[in-house]
Structure 1
Amino acid sequence: MRDPDPITAAISTRLEALQAAQQLSAWSMIVTFMGDAIGPRGGVVSAAALQGLMQRMGIGAGAVRTAVSRLSAEGWIERSREGRNSFYQLSGAVGETVRAAERRIYAASSLLPADTPRTLVIAPGPLPETALQALEAEGALQIASQVMLVFTRLDALPADLVHTGATLAEAPVILAGASMCTHIAAVRQADEIESLRQSYLPVAAALKQVPAPSPEDAMALRCLMIHEWRRVALRVQSIPADLIQPDDPEPATRALIAQIYAELLPASEAWLDDNATTPSGALPPPDARLASRFGG
């Protein structure tokens, strides 16, 4: 029996890892595919193309049908029929959420400029829920008990943060001491991101051995990679560039994901051209979002 080619082996390895971690969810994988591949190409795709790709990733037809029914019932996707063919698209509200998430997933960097303003919020006691929500929305960094660093000007703080009893102070310079470095590593998902980088180094090596993967394999590997990358990219804390630690693995991991993505793009887009359809025929060409991903 012939050994599988390096790309097939890479796909199998990633599938096994996701299954072992119980992260090979048909529901989530469908949303990943719709957002990553179909969003820039009109947003509508045939059920046959979706089922074919999911099957390549080890997700059976029954699991796909169950996931589609759940997504439809919960308002994530809209279904339509044209004759005997079914078509899917993300619902309007979900599509907006996915596009907002794309700005973080496909950004060239997660770092804020080094001159980003910053404000200390020192609370005398537990913050009210509205203030905590405002802090979370602002991407605040907790640097001590009830001490938060918000990356915005003092006069631009949300009203919910300006509550009675809190001390607010501009903090143009914050030195990252040992405890703060540890905290930054945690909120930057350092361990998880380094693990993901190590997992995809063999994929990059495989693409050097097989520079032209089959369209189906390229589309499957692209979907699997973005599925894994999305899970951590959306949880990475954005911080000013002067606070990043030398051993922070996120920039190198993002660069690796961007490199692999660019290498998979031509063949994966060819798979869409040959297999995915809309009610009116072929998918439209990709819009500008695709070309601009990862700073392209």
Structure 2
Amino acid sequence: MTDKQPSWFSTAVTALADPQNQRVWSIIVSLFGDLAQRDGDQINGSTLTRIITPMGIKPEAIRVALHRLRKDGWIDSTRSGRASVHFLTQMGRSQSAAVTPRIYAASTVPLVDWHILIAGDGQTSALDALAQQPNYVGVNRSTILGHGSLPRDHHDLLVVKDPDLSVPNWLCEHLFPEDLKLTCARLDSTLAGLKLPNALLAEANAVDWAQIATLRTMIVHRWRRVVLRHPDLPSRFHPDDWVGESCRHRVAALLHNLPRPHLNQAGELLAPPLP
């Protein structure tokens, strides 16, 4: 393992840099969600710094972000000898686990078990809480679309189950606005042009696993900012110029070629165990 940054790594980091403002706390959430989501997983301060600073983020900014995440109940920290170690709280693990299926899913949800819920005049508050759930999406103030089991309290709503859906263009554009399509297209183009050495993992002992973790974090973070901004809907709802599925496949392929490092009890990165 080495601290030297090869040219391919520097080029990849530059390409993957978020074109929007880098919120360090959000990057750390992406990092822990990818590398340290299980109960007992922890990352020590030195390792965390080695993963994040190649992104152009200073150690001072990392400390400020960790303070915010501790205050918000996402992350906790403790001492292990002379080192600080950081780990997701129960709430942080729960929140990460809730979005993990959407981030790493190989495809969109199938077109089954769909229903439409319509509220009457003055009763739209019944839809507000449902619209925040990941399996629902608002169509307008009085109508939401969802899949899975019907909500327990649906008796005051008009329910249309397993509809023969006709999806108009205006609904596709409403669900996938222009700025989201542009963000996704930029990421898809970036990932398509990303060049990693063919023999990157040929010698596992020579791999700098912090560099692998850096690239994984940047890929997951950029994709997370796309996939969690739109509802999880079948392809019938996608606009013609939506490249989200292409982007999803590129993310999956890159993460496969950059296997998730293993964390030891000291919060250090090691090669993943052999299958």
What is the DSSP-based 3-state SS (H/G/I as helix, E as strand, rest coil) of the residue aligned with 1:87?
strand
AA paired with 1:278? Q
* Matching residue of 1:157: 150
1:226 to 220, 228, 233: 220
Give the C-alpha shift of residue 102 in structure 1: 0.9
Q: Percent identity?
A: 24
For these two proteins, the number of residue pairs brought into alignment is 264
* Matching residue of 2:185: 194
* Matching residue of 2:74: 76
Give the C-alpha shift of residue 168 in structure 1: 2.5
AA paired with 1:113? P
1:6-25 map, 5 Å: 6-15=8-17, 18=18, 20-22=19-21, 24-25=22-23
Q: Which moved more, 1:255-264 or 1:119-128?
A: 119-128
Aligned 8 A contact 2:13 2:54 in 1: no
* Matching residue of 1:294: none
In structure 2, do the counterparts of structure 1 residues 33 and 120 end up closer, same or farther at CA, with 3 Å as the change threshold? closer
1:1-296 map, 5 Å: 5-15=7-17, 18=18, 20-22=19-21, 24-39=22-37, 42-109=40-107, 111-114=108-111, 116-137=112-133, 139-143=135-139, 146-152=142-148, 156-163=149-156, 166-186=157-177, 189-203=180-194, 206-207=195-196, 211-212=199-200, 215=208, 216-244=210-238, 247-265=241-259, 269=261, 277-279=264-266
Structure holding more helix per residue: 1
* Matching residue of 2:3: none
What is the DSSP-based 3-state SS (H/G/I as helix, E as strand, rest coil) of the residue aligned with 2:223?
helix
AA paired with 1:183? H
2-side partners of 1:170 and 1:139: how far apart? 15
2-side partners of 1:236 and 1:221: how far apart? 24
Aligned 8 A contact 2:47 2:269 in 1: no
2-side partners of 1:136 and 1:104: how far apart? 15
What is the DSSP-based 3-state SS (H/G/I as helix, E as strand, rest coil) of the residue aligned with 1:162?
coil
Q: Note the alpha carbon deviations across 1:120-140, whole angstroms, 9 max, x for none.
A: 323332544342211332633
Give the C-alpha shift of residue 284 in structure 1: 8.4
Q: Which moved more, 1:38-47 or 1:187-196?
A: 187-196
Aligned 8 A contact 1:14 1:224 in 2: yes
Computed over aligned residues only, the root mean square deviation of the Cα atoms, in angstroms, reads 3.2
Q: TM-score, normalised by structure 2?
A: 0.81
Q: TM-score, normalised by structure 1?
A: 0.76
Aligned 8 A contact 1:41 1:283 in 2: no
Q: Structure 2: give runs of 5+ residues left out of the alignment.
A: 1-5, 202-206
Q: Structure 1: give runs of 5+ residues left out of the alignment.
A: 292-296
2-side partners of 1:29 and 1:68: how far apart? 11
What is the DSSP-based 3-state SS (H/G/I as helix, E as strand, rest coil) of the residue aligned with 1:259?
helix
Give the C-alpha shift of residue 170 in structure 1: 2.8
